Structure 1
Amino acid sequence: MTNVPTAVASAATARASAPPTPNLSAFIWSVADLLRGDYRQSEYGKVILPFTVLRRLDCVLEPTKAAVLTELDKRTRAGLNPEPFLLKAADQSFYNTSKLDLRTLLGDQDHIAENLRSYLQAFSPAVRDIFERFDFHTQIDRLDKAGLLYLVTEKFATIDLHPNVVSNAQMGTVFEELIRRFAELSNETAGEHFTPREVIRLMVNVLFIEDDEALTKPGVVRSIYDPTAGTGGMLSVAGEHLAEINPEARLVMFGQELNDESYAICKADMLIKGQDVSNIFAGNTLSNDGLPATKFDYMLSNPPFGVEWKKIEKEVRREHEQKGFDGRFGPGLPRVSDGSLLFLMHLLSKMRPAKDGGSRFGIVLNGSPLFTGGAGSGESEIRRYVLENDLLEAIIALPTDLFYNTGIATYVWIVSNRKPAPRKGKVQLIDASAMWQKMRKSLGSKRKEMGAAHIEEITQLFGAFEETTKGGKPISKIFRNEAFGYRTITVERPERDEQGNVVLATKGKAKGKPTPDSALRDTENVPLSETVEAYFAREVKPHAPDAWIDHEKTKVGYEIPFNRHFYVFTPPRPLAEIDAELKVVTDRIVKMIGELSQ
């Protein structure tokens, strides 16, 4: 049994109660009033998001601006490359060499577009890339032509977004709230860009809990990776969590993101946190892996649910066929309509070998990867690889209506190649679907949230690794890996002639043997825990004495019927009780009809 450290539980409570920043979001959103008429609602984000990032960077650099300019002058006159000195003077991993900032830009209204471009160009290269991803220069031109650039700049210059005023966690919440609202206005999928913070906190808690002792050592350095990084929420929460457990620890963050706006926000967030932004890549992780040879200690991911991968099918199939297990997709390929399991295999390929310390990762998936696909299918083969290699630690069922863009059931898979001894050969299933509280106000499809107490309870259930019931219902169950495996056997019966005699084959290997009747052919799933012969004798032979098994067609499959394991039968109410209720209703209706006829 693993004891749950108090550091983990208290950290979850503190973070889950972090105050939101609705006033700041509302203030930034009020810029939309200026844009109305010249911009469609769906385009507001093209202005508001980059300006929010710009003001954030502007505020971060403000205290050291004078020192940076002094250093620039000094090193330039000395004929030296000023960059390392500017970074040191800025006390950040970025800098700006312009004498301008958003406030001083307001002093020259007639030349604000020209001066704003000059100010942007004076940032260090990593920051310039952020605004290129936003295509911000196009919006500067458009705002200038509409006579709005000065007004919008003035609006943002009045708010203080320095980290001492608005923490990194609060800023992340602001960005997520803005993206959600813009996505709703443009009918986009907000959930593709970020994950609810309480879901991330739960995943991070569970991810780190078994390593608490190692993570509290002075100067410990660990790596974490998110292949669907969004705005960087998962990486940020992981960093905050480790800092609470051990302020001397360092978490090196890596990520990749497909959406340009989300990538830009993630990169800006990493810059302010002092992370190496060269570790954050843009592009499609599945078709163009930005970190092909890198392995990680921890990984987190919330890939898009049920999204087809037809656009990148050619590249993925080529890697599967040409590289096999030397590539990322050796176990198999899921159907093109849902690429979730491609991300699971991608993460498996990024695991540090067990001999080098191993890895652990958490991934959010919908219900489909648990059971879609019969024996021999791509999905089943992927599950088979994970279970037969003893990589699955646990699956946690989350409440419905937890995500911004969907109300469907979701599950967190915890995967590791360094399982503690008690977990070896076993999988824990945790049903946390009832652990939620109603939100005061719905956000898109999100009507429920997990509070600090729920996160702590689930963390305790995982850490304890015991079978547990609550209110008479199971909430934690433990299975051997092979409990999810089965053999699909093909049951044949003989073809018969008009007289009812068995037709025998006249040639080939089957000569003299009964010819199978394809119309009578059937399949049966036999649990791996039972021999095929015993199952066949018990379940088939009594009903079809002439049947036999075609062993050449036998396939091994794996599925995880999560809900079946937690189903509790509720007997129907007594018939007399139902009849009595119906009589009361019927009598009332008869009485009402009688009153109407009077």
Structure 2
Amino acid sequence: MTLADYIEIETTRDELIRACKQAADLIRTRVDYKYILVLLFLKRLSDEWKKEYNEALKTLLEKGLDRKEAEVLAKDKSFHRFTYPEKYLWEELRKNINELPVRLSEALKLLAEKNPELQGVVDRLDFLEFTRHRDNFDILVQLFELFSGLNLGRASDSILGDAYEWLIGYFAPQKAKEGEVFTPSEVVDLIVRIVDPQPMDSVYDPAAGYARMLIRAYDYVKQKYGEEEAKKLFLYGQEVNPTTYAIAKMNAIVHGIKDIKLEVGDTLKNPRFKEGETFRKFDIVIANPPWNQDGYGEEELKKAEFYDERFKYGFTPKQSADWAWIQHMLASAKRKVGVVIDNGCLFRGGKERQIRKAILERDLIECVILLPEKLFYNTGAPGAIIIFNKQKPENRKGKILFINASNEFEKHPEVRKLNRLGEQHIEKIVNAYNEFKDGDGFCRVVSLEEIRENDYNLNVTLYVFPQEEIEEIDVAKEWEELRAIEEEMREVELRIEEYLSELKY
């Protein structure tokens, strides 16, 4: 079959998710699921290139070009999003399964060479190393054949994005045990809706992970203002783990986001985004950094780039970098910061209290949200969201909104021990933030003066606590029911006495 004969049958969301579930069953916990993501990405690039080739060929033939000339021109890179080496198209790789690991490694290496934006991305995982164990070779072949039944050339970005999200979420419990940070989709959605990015904004995540917060910011603007406006967003992220960075880049591409800028490196030590002689500033900064990360005490932070500007409110204790992350985010923001963080950083003393006090006195904190327990894969502890605003409206100055969302959850439909935020819970929290007023044991506006009196303690339960529902009691009805019970007891006692008297005779 020639490239021109390639028949394009669109793969549906259900078909793709079903294939992902089968792939997950194949590998279980035996091998890293990132190999599935790479194969899925390669299949997408291969099928997309074939689709672009056919569309270009059709256009050129309609313009009257000779078929042979048109077939050559249709392969020109001007018709394609990525340059794809034709001899490594999926169907070509399939012709010799025994050589699959070698050919896959060659394909990914060549893709990285021909597409600078894929360097350090598709060539990050080694299929030759992966298949040194014979069982892994069999798994690779089965995965390859499974994806061979899909046509991803015309599948929408949202469908591919959903597949990536499903796979990342499915393996999150396993990866959490290995130390990876995974933010539940509902928490990502909540924080993005609160910070409310607009077209033309720059959005930065200094602990990007799989870039899910940045992708959600893009989708939020797309849903609210349209795709063309979403394309006007400027997205930036930094991730310390090179393999996680590679998945983040692929994740953004399959979501249809072309202009995201991602860098590899330790953000606290060396922020990669710079402007002139200093670090870059962004309209909005959002992140779920590693909680209670150790190893970033005063001695270490003083070695960091721009430390005097980024950590000007104080140095964190060696055992927890929570307020180091927060300070970096504040220093990097022009307008708003939204951070998901350990609840303990709201009230711990010592160096953290001093930093908290300095930031509070500058009136930078706008809202503190206590989340429910058991939302996160790697801890049952209730996290918190802190919203900082450098451009507080006049009516919010000198005040902080505390939201106690500890009861706003439903049981997770797939993970027995977990809870999750439902849509109604997210809406309730976002509405409370937007309205910025007291609300029946759920939220309360607190003055900076009251927080000073509490020694700069930001523990949400200190300021707002869910009201217990008091059941109204109908006293008359309860009295009647009690009298009826007593009457029944007297009748039973009489019958027992009669029975005992009969036994005596």
TM-score range, shorter-chain basis? 0.7 to 0.9
Q: Which residue of 1 is the match for residue 493 of structure 2?
A: none
1:368 matched to 2:344? The reply is: yes
Deviations 1:284-334 (A, max 9, x none): 211221114211111111112222125x874413349xx6642x1111122
Does the 8 A contact of 1:113 with 1:144 survive in 2?
no
Stretches of structure 2 lacking an aligned partner (at least 5 in a row): 1-12, 60-72, 472-481, 483-505
Q: Which residue of 2 is the match for residue 392 of structure 1?
A: 365
For residue 371 of structure 1, report the CA deviation from its aligned partner. 0.8
Q: Which residue of 2 is the match for residue 501 of structure 1?
A: none
Deviations 1:101-126 (A, max 9, x none): 22221113344344323322332133
For residue 42 of structure 1, report the CA deviation from its aligned partner. 4.8
The partner residue of 1:317 within 302, 323, 347 is 302
Question: For 2:130 and 2:52, how far apart are their aligned partners in 1?
Answer: 29
TM-score relative to the length of structure 1: 0.66
Does the 8 A contact of 1:25 with 1:177 survive in 2?
no
1:410 matched to 2:348? The reply is: no
> Which residue identity is paired with 1:27?
Q
For residue 21 of structure 1, report the CA deviation from its aligned partner. 7.6
Change (3 A) 1:113 1:146: closer
1:453 matched to 2:448? The reply is: no
Question: For 2:141 and 2:268, how far apart are their aligned partners in 1?
Answer: 42
The partner residue of 2:463 within 565, 589, 595 is 565
Q: Which residue of 1 is the match for residue 436 of structure 2?
A: 465
Deviations 1:341-378 (A, max 9, x none): 111011011012xxxxxx112101111111101xxx32
Aligned ranges 1:35-114 → 2 under 5 Å = 41-45=29-33, 47-65=35-53, 86=77, 88-90=78-80, 92=81, 94-114=82-102
For residue 262 of structure 1, report the CA deviation from its aligned partner. 2.1
1:30 matched to 2:19? The reply is: no
Deviations 1:561-582 (A, max 9, x none): 3212224798999xxxxxx9xx
Change (3 A) 1:117 1:27: same
For residue 398 of structure 1, report the CA deviation from its aligned partner. 1.1
* 3-state SS, counterpart of residue 395 of structure 1: strand
Question: For 1:390 and 1:254, how far apart are their aligned partners in 2?
Answer: 27
Question: For 1:303 and 1:68, how far apart are their aligned partners in 2?
Answer: 45
Aligned ranges 1:258-269 → 2 under 5 Å = 258-269=240-251
Q: Which residue of 2 is the match for residue 174 of structure 1?
A: 166
Does the 8 A contact of 2:161 with 2:251 survive in 1?
no
Change (3 A) 1:160 1:560: same
* 3-state SS, counterpart of residue 132 of structure 1: coil
Change (3 A) 1:168 1:386: farther
1:223 matched to 2:202? The reply is: yes
Question: For 1:324 and 1:99, how far apart are their aligned partners in 2?
Answer: 50
> Which residue identity is paired with 2:439?
T
The partner residue of 2:222 within 239, 243, 256 is 243
TM-score relative to the length of structure 2: 0.77
Does the 8 A contact of 1:258 with 1:284 survive in 2?
yes
Q: Which residue of 1 is the match for residue 290 of structure 2?
A: 304
> Higher RCO, 1 or 2 (CA under 8 Å, sep at least 6)?
1
Does the 8 A contact of 1:226 with 1:254 survive in 2?
yes
* 3-state SS, counterpart of residue 189 of structure 1: coil
Deviations 1:59-92 (A, max 9, x none): 4433114678999xxxxxxxxxx9x972x411x3
Deviations 1:422-453 (A, max 9, x none): 1112111011111111123326x5x2111111
Number of equivalences: 436
Question: For 2:14 and 2:433, how far apart are their aligned partners in 1?
Answer: 27
Question: For 2:345 and 2:419, how far apart are their aligned partners in 1?
Answer: 23
* 3-state SS, counterpart of residue 558 of structure 1: coil
Alpha-carbon RMSD: 3.5
* 3-state SS, counterpart of residue 236 of structure 2: strand
Give 4+ residue runs of structure 1 displaced > 6 Å after superposition. Answer: 18-21, 67-71, 568-573
Question: For 1:350 and 1:255, how far apart are their aligned partners in 2?
Answer: 12
Q: Which residue of 1 is the match for residue 394 of structure 2?
A: 421
* 3-state SS, counterpart of residue 386 of structure 2: strand
Q: Which residue of 1 is the match for residue 179 of structure 2?
A: 189
Does the 8 A contact of 1:334 with 1:341 survive in 2?
yes
For residue 397 of structure 1, report the CA deviation from its aligned partner. 1.1
Does the 8 A contact of 1:305 with 1:340 survive in 2?
yes
Does the 8 A contact of 1:395 with 1:412 survive in 2?
yes
The partner residue of 1:330 within 301, 305, 312 is 312
> Which residue identity is paired with 1:222?
D
Question: For 2:345 and 2:374, how far apart are their aligned partners in 1?
Answer: 19
Change (3 A) 1:182 1:54: farther
For residue 267 of structure 1, report the CA deviation from its aligned partner. 0.6
* 3-state SS, counterpart of residue 458 of structure 1: helix
Q: Which residue of 2 is the match for residue 585 of structure 1?
A: none
Question: For 2:470 and 2:423, how far apart are their aligned partners in 1?
Answer: 36
For residue 132 of structure 1, report the CA deviation from its aligned partner. 3.2
